[in-house]
Amino acid sequence: MRDVAVIGIGMTKFGELWEKSFRNLFVEAAKAAMTDAGVDKIDSMYIGCMSGGLFVGQEHIGSLMADYLGVAPIPATRVESACASGGVAFRQAYIEVASGMSDVVLAGGVEKMTDVDGGMATYALATAADADYEGFHGATFPGLYAMMASAHMAKYGTTSEMLASISVKNHANGNLNPFAQFPSKITLEGVLNSTMVADPLHILDCSPVTDGAAAVIVASLDVAKKLGAPIVRIIGSGQATDSIALHGRDDITTINAAKVASQKALQQAGLSINDIDFAEVHDCFSIAELIVLESIGVFEPGKAGAAILDGYTARDGKFPVNPSGGLKSKGHPVGATGVAQIVELTKQLRGTAENGRQLANAKRGLAQNMGGTGGSSTVHILEA
């Protein structure tokens, strides 16, 4: 397999983007990535999109986006893996270039979630769970993650303050991100006193409904060098699945798909988790960030909460997590989230993160993206 690099990045601002259409969001991000890479031609592209049909009534997204980006007749493929759609799109682009099939490939993600009311958005998102055994019985994602949080609290003594500290930390980071949907800072007391959505999760433990798009250009290392692009290599890629429903798992206080995907990515890179400097992880709910960090080996089971509360994962901590603000503050347009994580890793590894978010000595970063409650997960490792 060939060495592959990320050579271009682009994304829209995340938020309630009433004035922008589904297709225009993707084109804006894709054009920004191509301009950043210094290319006007791509060999193919993959577009992560969880639920265009339910959110905006649009399927056949590969054809649509190739047309409106002006790159037809190249092959363009829509990728769906729930909230991991963007991560899987990026992995497919990486594999295509690494295999030698193509030299320059665009990986993008897009979702427009606010064109429907809250009930329809909840229904669309619930399709990432088990429709027969969870959705039919009224289980929504706040409820499912609340069960995971309750189980973790019962098993390890995790507290609501520990979970709230994750939201506070991510909003402090998002406050410095010009692309973030909710850049406002919040307090521990504010989280704990906010509306309870599904006990023990408050509304400020939950990521928002978001419109947005992100895109990256990946190319062979030889092409990257010829273009004179800053070299950010993809050195590890892993993907795994698990039972889609919580009742099918042995332990709901861990996410095995994230564990296996991280092991695969680290093995390919020839590294251990201790060799990674920072991470972007899938914090759709505060408990998700905590469980993911234990699942991928940053912390032993049951040890993440106290360490996070103590500042271990802050920007100036030993292992910074979600310097972008994460899904919680930056926003979570589900099809775009995994690609937006790669955008942030690339900025940090280039040394170009905005507004004081730049981490010191960032040489290797990890991105973990997952679908549903962890029924699917990707992990990628990038190196400056």
Q: What is the pLDDT of residues 23-65, one digit of tens each?
A: 999 999 999 999 999 999 999 999 999 999 999 999 999 999 9
- pLDDT score recorded for residue 263: 98
For 15, 83, 138, 258, 269, the CA distances from 330, given in Å and listed in that order, are 8, 15, 28, 21, 28
Give the mean model confidence (pLDDT) for residues 175-179. Answer: 98
Contacts of 207 (CB under 8 A, 6+ apart): 283, 284, 285, 326, 327, 328, 331, 332
pLDDT band, residue 283 (cuts 50/70/90): very high
Residue closest to 83 by CA, chosen among 324, 322, 326, 357: 326
What percentage of the chain exceeds 90 in pLDDT? 99
Mean per-residue pLDDT over the chain, rounded: 97
d(CA 75, CA 152): 44
pLDDT band, residue 229 (cuts 50/70/90): confident
Residue closest to 4 by CA, chosen among 237, 276, 351: 237
Give the mean model confidence (pLDDT) for residues 247-253. Answer: 97
d(CA 376, CA 146): 19
Give the mean model confidence (pLDDT) for residues 172-184. Answer: 98
Helix H or strand E segment including 327: helix 326-330
Q: Is 332 a catalytic residue?
A: yes
Is the pLDDT reported for residue 382 higher than 90?
A: yes
- Contact by Cβ (8 Å): 245, 372: no
- pLDDT score recorded for residue 380: 99
Is the pLDDT reported for residue 330 higher than 90?
A: yes
Domains of the chain: 4-117+210-232 (3.40.47.10), 128-206+236-383 (3.40.47.10)
Q: Which of 49, 83, 206, 284 is catalytic?
A: 83
Give the mean model confidence (pLDDT) for residues 3-20. Answer: 98
For residue 48, how many other CB atoms are within 10 A of its CB? 34
pLDDT band, residue 328 (cuts 50/70/90): very high
- pLDDT score recorded for residue 230: 86
Is the pLDDT reported for residue 211 higher than 90?
A: yes
Contacts of 282 (CB under 8 A, 6+ apart): 83, 84, 258, 288, 289, 292, 327, 337, 368, 369, 370, 377
Give the mean model confidence (pLDDT) for residues 256-260. Answer: 98
d(CA 116, CA 96): 35
Write out pLDDT tens, residues 63-78: 999 999 999 999 999 9
Residue closest to 78 by CA, chosen among 131, 122, 124, 26: 26
Q: Which of 152, 171, 332, 380 is catalytic?
A: 332
Backbone angles phi, psi at 107, to 5 degrees: -115, 120
